[in-house]
Structure 1
Amino acid sequence: MEFRTLGGTGTIVSSLCLGTMTFGSESSEETSHAQLDRFLERGGNFIDTANVYSRGVSEEIIGRWLATRPGVRDQVVIATKGRFPMGGGPNDVGLSRTSLTRALDASLRRLQVETVDLYQAHAWDALTPIEETLRFFDDAAKAGKIRYAGVSNFIGWQLQKAAMLTGFLGLTPIVTLQPQYNLLVREIEFELTAVCQNENIGILPWSPLAGGWLTGKYRRDEVPTGASRLGEDPERGMEAYAPRNAQQRTWQVIDAVRGIAESRGVSMAQVALAWTADRPAVTSVILGARTVEQLDDNLAAAELHLSVEETTFLDDASEPLIGDYPYGPQGRQQRASGREL
């Protein structure tokens, strides 16, 4: 396992992070604990969860795992999130001080810890001034409830505003961004990657395998069936499968990943994870496995690095579909040109 700093902090985390969204839903408690054990055995130390994962059950499973393994709490870096509804009341949702106070205290109880290493806003809240959220993070850090603050699913201007305000107001900085990022979803490169590099914010990609598409489990023009997230719910699966299946780029990317995997003698998942892990500003890639076997395959990507030629091949195959301006050729030319009257 390789290690990196958590954004601009001095805390060290593994380059692969164990995501726990499956805990309590797709993975039983026994399987979840086995995944946690295996992750530590393989050198991982970074665990990500959220209060809404199985409506608190994911955090509870992690809490019971920590409680039965003395000394493990000091070995791991734990991240969780708040923002989405955990009750029916108007203040059971959002990034207000009222909502986040309740959410964080409940997460600490479920995790059976006094401090969360990284507490993240799960998404932007248009009703709450971002200054209120940032001041909550700062107060929580001073109270010893959190060590660092991060955000998830923000877009460019939202992240830049949050980062600049912490500097202007002298508040606990935003050290991480958790966005969806993979070979099929590269749009964060339009703005967010540059903000993260400029503000020393570490990227924690979620869904690095694009919901299983980059593992090769789905086939062109074949409706998913069987033990897969799309196959187990045919109606929902078809809704998710059809748009991506219709895009030629999807199969172009999958074929490119498959070709490298076959030449390397590794799985397609490992190739996709290796590509994501070595992108600019990426701190740690969040894995989402149902079983220990899936986790084992994912963890094999920990020390896999693609060659320049392989990376370029995947970059070209997965180039996002964009127009001419402002992110396409015309916009790039204008940004690169000299100042001319």
Structure 2
Amino acid sequence: MTDTTATAAPEAAGPTPISSDELQRAGEIVGRVSAAFQAKVVGQSGLRESLLVALLTGGHVLLESVPGLAKTTAAQTLAQAVDASFRRIQCTPDLLPSDITGTQIYDAQSSTFVTQLGPVHSNFVLLDEINRSSAKTQSAMLEAMQERQTSIGGTVYRLPEPFLVLATQNPIEQEGTYQLPEAQLDRFLLKEILDYPSPAEEAEIIRRIESGVYDEAVDSAATGVHLDDVRHLQSLVKRVYIDQSIVNYIVQVIYVTRHPQQYIPGTLADYIQFGASPRASIAFTQAARALAILNGRDYVIPDDVKHVRHAVLRHRLILGYEAAADEVRPETIIDAVFAAVQTP
């Protein structure tokens, strides 16, 4: 008699736990990159942390600040510290999608079209004042960010790995700008807001300029960090342990943003038009794991989630015009959302 009993499929194995040696190596890599960053950029610890989190997760950062707060220096320094390619793109209304992704140029000598890859084919790309480019150009860039590839003349070209985009917005001037749609904002892992340096930090900036600190590029040989090390860190982030209770905590927070009237005071709840999408839950998970690595841990704690709450949610909550009229900041509403959810 034939045994027809079905054999249970083996359970999928979880990720391999991170060893103490791997965690120590990750700490050394992060320490060397951070030291190179701090040698060039004065203060801006929030920017440094956001860039490192994005680098470790493969995400992108939207940066809002007035001019002159070291955005270009920060991105270029981080790229040089890990021996990565870097390109800066100044966005203007007449910038075409092909100016970013690339195009085909006719070669008269060979009577053929030659593909010329655009500046987006770099490890680090700084999109300066992205809201000054047209909607069509924004769409082309954000497609490259999401798909990590470009299509030129019917041929697909993969973008290099790692790939990080730092897009900036100037909150002062709005004339001649094209506001990023909410669906495109959602594709940025984090949004960081920079403030002016303190008097002591500004004095240190002047001292470093006079001493020639900014005249020389960061030597990746001095840091000892290369792209293979970055890829190693990215693989470690995926193996960081996150307990199911913390996952439930993240999901509950996002649920509250969608049903605020049931959980937070009515005056604040009325400001929210639409809550965060599932991309916010994914962003919280990824950013919290990266933050654990940056802090020398192989597991996520609730404070990791709380620490990145503003950067993850401030560009994902869609607020009504009443919030702007009453000068209510997104951070105030985000804090109220987190206060309404019990910490595991």
- TM-score normalized by structure 1? 0.29
Higher-Rg structure is: 2
The structure with higher relative contact order (CA 8 Å, sep 6+) is 2
